[in-house]
């Protein structure tokens, strides 16, 4: 460890920045957010810096006690003595001047950071993940700052903003917890329970009022059993079900919330359309149970899935119901939520990128376009109990895009029915197999010839049908997997 990480309280502390350009502005923005009082010295100070810092106070040259001070002068050693600065930032593009300022600071015993010059730095600015009051700093000791920023970006994706609220509310309860649970061990177990339990999930769900109430209830439970030396009795958590949309297959399309809940699940019930790559992102030691349903082949009936969700939540487990696409778009998530509500089981519903949206983006077939489609409809090719959707008369609007889910098996019936109902046989239509995945394939044609083309191409399920003039844009807008053999078939 070449440097030791410390977190410095900067509220109302004086800091000098020498330089008035873009780099100085970046440092000024960081430091003002931490509450520092800044003095900027430079022959010319960017107006954007003044505008930024003037947000903190009504700066006026007549009032030298203003929080931030601008001195538009060439640097002089006396500038270092104007206040008891806790450290100095040097952000000029004059290498010789930077070395002189560094030497002046050393003579006066001042800590100094010369931006992008590690040998002239007494301290280093880390890449920061800000979840106030949670702060994470990443440093490469000046060796690879770009890499540090990339690592910060990765951490940003896995730590939701709500962690700040989680910490703030917990901070407000610290004294009360300490008074009711006098030992460190009891307090540690209480906070582990809170941060892994219902309190934190209520925060993540945006329900702060109920989260505070839950924290109070948890504290009462812990305080009652503390005297009996049986803190472990409170470790059982109330079960909850997370109905999570896994998207169309590309793991990078998962939401942050979906990933967080997947990684804390005790048991995962997953569908046939959930890719192995996504399943691998679930908590490694969680139980994973396949309950997939394909046409005419249901490994577990929907009623039994509902019962499994209720059963495992009732015994205190965190249950993830992982579905391809979006739970509320032909995903039966509504039926499962109804069953959970009926039995008083807490649940959350996490949207996913439905396959139609992924298909549109990954094939270059926009669902709406001012010149081609004023509306879009998602239609199932198969109604309840396997009966085909034959409501063809409602699908004749010429400036509308229609996406058929679960329609590949009924392709001939759909195309024939649409033509018989009055749809032009020249209407463009496409079959998209495995949308957004590495083995995505696209077959384009018209209502008149798509069945014949599919008989030859044999694109496999899962597949969507998309009908409308927007299909004609595919050739111009396609970008994904265009150089992969068999990725596109015409």
Residues belonging to the active site? 271, 293
Find, among 161, 18, 141, the residue nearest to 78 by Cα: 18
SS3 2: coil
Angle between helices 162-172 and 184-195 (to 10 degrees): 150
Burial classification of residue 467, based on how many CB atoms lie within 10 Å of its CB (0-12 exposed, 13-18 middle, 19 or more buried): buried
d(CA 421, CA 245): 35
* Residues listed for the chain: 490
d(CA 490, CA 487): 10
Q: Which residue is listed with tokens 């396949």?
A: 290
CA atoms within 13 A on the CB side of 80: 19
d(CA 427, CA 386): 26
* CA-based max dimension of the chain: 91
418 token code pair: 């649409």
Q: For 321-360, give one letter per residue: b (16+ CB within 10 A) or e.
A: bbbbbbbbbbbbbeebbebbeeeebbbbbbbbbbbbbbbb
Find, among 352, 392, 360, 393, the residue nearest to 376 by Cα: 360
155 token code pair: 């951490």
Residue 388: partners with Cβ closer than 8 Å, 6 or more residues away: 381, 382, 410, 413, 414
Inter-residue contact 265 to 196 (CB < 8 Å): no
């Amino acid at each position: 460890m070449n440097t030791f990480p410390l977190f410095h309280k900067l509220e109302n502390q004086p800091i000098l920045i020498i330089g008035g350009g873009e780099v100085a502005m970046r440092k000024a923005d960081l430091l003002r957010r931490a509450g520092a009082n800044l003095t900027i010295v430079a022959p010319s100070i960017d107006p954007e810096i003044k505008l930024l810092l003037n947000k903190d106070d009504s700066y006026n040259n007549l009032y030298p006690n203003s929080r931030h001070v601008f001195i538009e002068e060439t640097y002089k050693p006396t500038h270092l003595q104007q206040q008891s600065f806790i450290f100095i930032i040097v952000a000029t593009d004059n290498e010789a001047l930077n070395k002189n300022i560094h030497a002046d600071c050393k003579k006066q015993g001042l800590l100094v950071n010369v931006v992008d010059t590690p040998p002239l730095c007494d301290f280093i600015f880390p890449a920061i993940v800000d979840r106030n009051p949670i702060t994470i700093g990443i440093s490469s000791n000046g060796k690879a700052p770009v890499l540090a920023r990339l690592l910060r970006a990765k951490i940003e994706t896995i730590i939701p903003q709500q962690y700040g609220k989680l910490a703030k509310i917990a901070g407000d309860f610290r004294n009360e917890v300490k008074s009711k649970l006098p030992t460190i061990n009891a307090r540690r177990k209480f906070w582990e329970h809170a941060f892994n339990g219902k309190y934190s999930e209520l925060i993540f769900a945006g329900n702060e009022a109920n989260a505070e109430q839950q924290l109070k209830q948890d504290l009462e439970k812990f305080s009652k059993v503390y005297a009996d030396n049986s803190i472990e009795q409170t470790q059982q958590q109330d079960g909850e079900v997370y109905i999570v949309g896994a998207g169309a297959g590309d793991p990078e399309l998962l939401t942050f919330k979906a990933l967080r809940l997947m990684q804390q699940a005790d048991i995962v019930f997953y569908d046939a359309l959930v890719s192995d790559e996504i399943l691998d992102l679930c908590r490694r030691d969680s139980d994973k149970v396949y309950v997939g349903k394909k046409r005419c082949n249901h490994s577990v009936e929907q009623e039994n899935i509902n019962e499994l969700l209720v059963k495992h939540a009732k015994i205190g487990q965190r249950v993830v119901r992982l579905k391809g696409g979006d739970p509320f778009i032909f995903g039966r998530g509504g039926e499962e939520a109804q069953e959970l509500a009926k039995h008083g089981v807490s649940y959350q519903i996490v949207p996913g990128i439905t396959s139609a949206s992924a298909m549109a983006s990954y094939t270059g077939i926009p669902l709406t376009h001012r010149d081609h489609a004023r509306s879009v409809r998602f239609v199932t090719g198969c109604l309840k109990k396997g009966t085909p959707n034959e409501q063809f008369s409602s699908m004749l609007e010429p400036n509308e895009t229609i996406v058929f889910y679960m329609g590949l098996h009924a392709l001939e019936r759909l195309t024939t029915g649409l033509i018989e109902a009055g749809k032009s046989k020249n209407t463009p239509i496409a079959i998209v197999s495995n949308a957004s995945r590495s083995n995505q394939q696209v077959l384009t044609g018209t209502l008149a010839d798509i069945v014949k083309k599919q008989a030859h191409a044999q694109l496999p399920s899962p597949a969507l049908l998309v009908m409308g003039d927007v299909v004609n844009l595919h050739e111009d807008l396609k970008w994904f997997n265009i150089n992969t053999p068999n990725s596109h078939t015409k």
